[in-house]
Amino acid sequence: MPLPSSTRHVGLLNLGNTCYMNSMIQILFSVSEFRDSLLSLSLPSQPASLLFQFQLLLTSLLRSQRPFYDPSAFCRALGVDVNRQMDVDEFFSTFMDRLEECLGEKKSLIREQFGGSMRHSITCEECRAESVREELCLSLPLVVKNKSSIQEGLAELVMAESLYGQNAYHCE
């Protein structure tokens, strides 16, 4: 008996070593605002294009009556080698870069959803002079291994550290 649509989830076929990709796509799919704004764009005319294939994949995860979707055509459009295990963060940035290219004037959609900035600042212990560098990002390099919560990882990410020896900071 089919489950009610609200609790039914469509899976993604593992094509070899693509479990990292499938997890990331399911996460992106679950960001409903991102998914809906991509699906509201008009469909490109070339079925081989990445945007076309991603829209098809999202629609299938949303509406397919089958238990899973085969992302082979999506992998071809993105140029993913299905036999090579890739770092999920590397996959995410490559995918977002490529998607941004496909979106043209709608490319701000990605930054609106996931964009943030990291501010790195170094303060001189002697004169308190501060050197600041700000960097735009789509993801945070969060350590979760051996952490009891995401908050703990976030706290570590923004923790100040002292620079000594070879890493010492010399202000002008």
d(CA 19, CA 12): 9
Question: Which has the closest alpha carbon to 96: 109, 83, 82?
Answer: 109
d(CA 166, CA 162): 12
Q: How far is the CB of 163 from Zn ion (least distance, A)?
A: 12
Establish if 124 lies at the interface with Zn ion (CB under 5 A): yes
Establish if 126 lies at the interface with Zn ion (CB under 5 A): yes
Using the rule CB under 5 A, give the single segment among 15-23, 87-95, 97-105, 125-133 that binds Zn ion: 125-133
Q: How far is the CB of 158 from Zn ion (least distance, A)?
A: 23
Q: How far is the CB of 168 from Zn ion (least distance, A)?
A: 11
Establish if 127 lies at the interface with Zn ion (CB under 5 A): yes
DSSP at 4: P
Question: By the criterion CB under 5 A, which residues form the site for Zn ion?
Answer: 124, 126-127, 129, 171
